[in-house]
Structure 1
């Protein structure tokens, strides 16, 4: 996935067998949802929750790619900051959201959607508490960028837009500046998107009421994360 001249953080790897297993999980879940859609809204909600849980568990162990960055060149590999498992899942889900919208690239808007779909991070919880939801972000993205052509097929791994690349680079750079040896959390991604002022993600956050004061509030806990159990 890395473009020419970019370093790539070796975060996670996966064999062909596990990739196929993850794809099979998604196809089985989708088939189950479609075949039971006639039962009604209540079952649809339950199967949708089941879908998300199944995909989260699958993606947490089989994400087959890393996050490309330009900010690790010349750094000792042992000192390169690592991404949290939630941030890795966000990136995977962002690519999936780009494909669902039939966009040719993974942009800051689909990174935001990935954050909301993953949903368990402190950053996602903070955004929801401030009235920012997946549905609102998606609606804003469509209003801002339009819908993809229904006959267009997005690439399996839609490449990053320039602003999305800069948002990820910002997250890595800020982590390096901090001198902290912990992982790069999802909060760094949110703040990276906010710092990339020309990006669609920044515009969407601003339209939904996110501002510099909220960014400062989130930054206080940017090195923390939360663990939510599934019941």
Structure 2
């Protein structure tokens, strides 16, 4: 019976032998990998190029850093030694204002966006002064939506929403005040905030007035900036 059973077992064929022999041989390395997710089967990527760590070392990184803020009258700043520079906090406030305008899907960066940018930056004297007087980011944002309304759902603002005329004048006012002072140093966030307040008909001015800011507080902020030695 055992002999009869063994006789029915399959013998090793050439196919099975080749399978065993191939397991001991080196597998061939695919030369290309089809990438149907690129939209075509004709595009291939060699394994030798799949080196993310090596490729990342040589990949260029695009980055832009603001070193100054736009001015409508560059000709008045002809003398390089007299050109006042914006402080790091003021530049960050401006950048945060642009970002807030994009978040609200507004087509431009207005004085209301610059005001929110100052509050988002959060560490400057101007920002602390606003919060000490009850003017917070959430209140300014709510007042902005009440005043300007909500943007259309499917509208997308540009990467750098252009300044409104009032916002540009606020920046220029800050530069002019620093030039008139003639004391050197940088243009501070306080100058930017007072520049927003100087634009009486702008949304930023209206929002500040609605939340309790007035000329007396503007003078107080200016005095604090002078006393702090900035």
Give the TM-score of the pair, scaled to structure 2: 0.70
Aligned to 2:65: 63
Aligned to 1:59: none
Offset, 1:66: 3.3
> How do 1:47-196 residues align onto structure 2 when only pairs under 5 Å count?
63-64=65-66, 66-74=68-76, 75-196=78-199
Which structure has the larger Rg?
Answer: 2
Q: Structure 2: where are the runs of 5+ without partners?
A: 1-59
Offset, 1:79: 1.2
Distance 1:223 1:154, change over 3 A: farther
Question: Comparing both chains, which one has the higher relative contact order based on Cα–Cα distances under 8 Å and sequence gaps of 6 or more?
Answer: 1
Measured against aligned partners, the alpha-carbon deviations of 1:68-99 in whole angstroms (never above 9, x if no partner) come to 11344243022100000000001110110000
4+ residue stretches of structure 1 with deviation over 6 A?
Answer: none
Q: Is the 8 A contact 2:111 2:203 kept in 1?
A: yes
Aligned to 1:13: none
Q: What is the aligned residue count? A: 169
Distance 1:182 1:142, change over 3 A: same
Distance 1:153 1:94 in 2: 16
Give the TM-score of the pair, scaled to structure 1: 0.69
Aligned-residue CA RMSD in angstroms? Answer: 1.8
Q: Is the 8 A contact 1:123 1:218 kept in 2?
A: yes
Q: Structure 1: where are the runs of 5+ without partners?
A: 1-15, 20-61, 227-231
Aligned to 1:17: 61
